[in-house]
Amino acid sequence: MSEYMYSIWRMPLVLVEASHVRVLCDACRTTSAEVCGRRDLPVMARVAAVRKFKAVGWHHDAGEHTRTTTLEQVQRDGSGRWYCPGCAKKTHL
């Protein structure tokens, strides 16, 4: 048997694409939050970001939709208005 010598080239710089999901408060327009879905597909990163934003106190206003399926889609995707924890405590929502 003969032996073969293999060399593995290491890459000094590897670019990994990641989906960043950012939200801006619709009331004060100064507060924002961002989540990075490192290894997730963009769709899954968006769904996970909606959960994380809500978990830390952000309020999501999906609006009024007559069709239930449209409302569910908007809630899942995070479309609509977002309010930071400070503005969400106010009674104007």
pLDDT at res. 69: 83
Looking at residue 41, its pLDDT comes to 82
Residue 10 has what pLDDT?
63
| Residue 44 backbone dihedrals phi, psi, to 5 degrees | -70, -35
Per residue of the chain (93 residues), what is the pLDDT tens digit? 566 666 556 656 656 677 888 899 999 999 899 988 878 888 888 888 999 999 999 998 888 877 788 888 888 888 888 999 999 888 665
Q: What is the pLDDT of residue 15?
A: 61
Which pTM does this prediction carry? Answer: 0.71
pLDDT score for 83: 92
